[in-house]
């Protein structure tokens, strides 16, 4: 019963994704990804992360990255409960 209640709670929250793109996103484009956290990494890449409401929103983010002409290095869903993950290598979305 506890697992059923937990599944219902998790189903109401949108999944969280991370997107790693090559290069630093300039300040003028950061607001274009409103709702996502933008981190400029020391290695020269940009990490975007945050909740993605549905498949349409996911495709919208990918389209924005494409339109910027910045290569997408990886896209990964973030597991809210790491104990549910059987094999960490299966969750990797490196391109």
pLDDT per residue as tens digits for the range 48-83: 999 999 999 999 999 999 999 999 999 999 976 555
Write the DSSP assignment of 16-61 as a string of letters: EEEEEESSPPPHHHHGGGTTSEEEE-TTS-EEEEEE--SHHHHHHH
The residue ranking higher by pLDDT, 42 or 9, is 42
Task: Give the chain's domains with CATH numbers.
Answer: 15-91 (3.30.70.1060)
Diameter of the chain measured on Cα atoms? 48
Question: pTM of the predicted model, to two decimals?
Answer: 0.72
pLDDT at 59: 97
pLDDT at 79: 79
pLDDT at 1: 47
């Amino acid at each position: 019963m506890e697992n059923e209640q937990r599944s219902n709670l998790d189903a109401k929250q949108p999944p969280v994704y991370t997107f790693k793109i090559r290069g630093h996103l300039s300040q003028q484009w950061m607001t274009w990804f409103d709702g996502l956290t933008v981190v400029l990494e020391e290695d020269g890449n940009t990490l975007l992360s945050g909740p993605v409401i549905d498949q349409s929103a996911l495709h919208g983010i990918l389209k924005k990255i494409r339109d910027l002409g910045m290569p997408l290095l990886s896209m990964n869903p973030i597991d809210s409960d790491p104990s549910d993950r059987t094999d960490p290598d299966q969750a990797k979305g490196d391109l």
